[in-house]
Amino acid sequence: MRLVVVSAGLSVPSSTRLLADRLAASAGRQADADVEVVELRELAVEIAQNFTNGFPGRRLAAAIDAVTSADGLIVVTPVFSASYSGLFKSFFDVIDKDALAGVPVLIAATGGTARHSLVLDHALRPLFAHLKAVVVQTGVYAASEDWGAEGLDGRIERAAGELAALMRGMAGTRRAAPDTLTVVPFAEQLAAVSGRSGG
């Protein structure tokens, strides 16, 4: 199985990437999955250009392929202005709206204070519900203070375990992303408009 991690951290090193790696290590072990990391910072320019050009550049196209063909996703964003970062949202904006349907997704976020922890349930969960992904019940939020406190380990293990269980349970249930264009035979297209048509 393939587990893909999307990290929207901007600094190097970033606490967002740190949290992503902790989650990936645990979920990768529990699901016995190969792990691939997509760093959105490296794709920032291509993501912006996808909006202006209408198509992804080569590295972005490879990242989109990895994400849309994964058996499970871990997505981690820093909190900016009470929500996910614009870069994080932009990445999912350039992915086909049906491409993540049925994919197990673990949502996680980092922030300066614990006061933003509901960003998981007020911003990330609705976003992935809209994309018809299967969102893991436990989300993981890490405030600065969590890196020096007890409790984060346990949340990471629990969330990663839930993701691993979903990945195992749903393995093979997703239809592969179509690599050819789907044809609706013309007779069906005509029938769709010819309810009252004389032909």
The one among 148, 154, 172, 185 contacting other proteins by CB under 8 A: 185
Other beta carbons within 10 angstroms of residue 1's beta carbon come to 16
Residue 55 in the binding site for other proteins (CB under 8 A) = yes
Q: How far apart are CA 132 and CA 102, in angstroms?
A: 6
By CB under 8 A, residue 192 contacts other proteins: yes
Q: How far is the CB of 68 from other proteins (least distance, A)?
A: 16
Decide if residue 57 touches other proteins (CB under 8 A): yes
User: Distance of alpha carbon 122 from its chain centroid, rounded?
Assistant: 16
Q: Does 49 bind other proteins (CB under 8 A)?
A: yes
CB of 18 to other proteins, least distance (A): 33
Rule CB under 8 A: say whether 197 interacts with other proteins.
yes
Spatial contact of 7 and 37, defined as CB atoms under 8 Å apart: yes
Tell me whether residue 174 is exposed, middle or buried, using C-beta atoms within 10 angstroms of its C-beta: 0 to 12, 13 to 18, 19 or more.
Answer: middle
Q: Which of 11, 32, 53, 145 binds other proteins (CB under 8 A)?
A: 53
Among residues 11, 113, 144, 189, the one that binds other proteins under rule CB under 8 A: 189
Task: Measure the CA–CA gap between 78 and 111, rounded to whole angstroms.
Answer: 6
Q: How far is the CB of 52 from other proteins (least distance, A)?
A: 3
Distance CA 35, CA 72 (A): 10
Q: How far is CA 140 from CA 12, 15, 64, in A?
A: 21, 13, 24
The span from the first CA to the last CA of the chain, in angstroms, equals: 50
Choose one: 9-17, 26-34, 77-85, 185-193; the region binding other proteins (CB under 8 A): 185-193
Residue 159 near residue 138 (C-beta atoms within 8 A): yes
Cβ proximity to other proteins: between 137 and 189 the closer is 189
CA dihedral 21, 130, 56, 44 (to 10 degrees): -50
| Site map 85..104 versus other proteins, x via CB under 8 A | --------------------
x-or-dash pattern for other proteins, window 153-182, by CB under 8 A?
---------------------------xxx
Counting contacts by CB under 8 A, is residue 54 touching other proteins?
yes
Q: Which residues bind other proteins (CB under 8 A)?
A: 48-49, 51-55, 57-58, 180-186, 189-190, 192-198
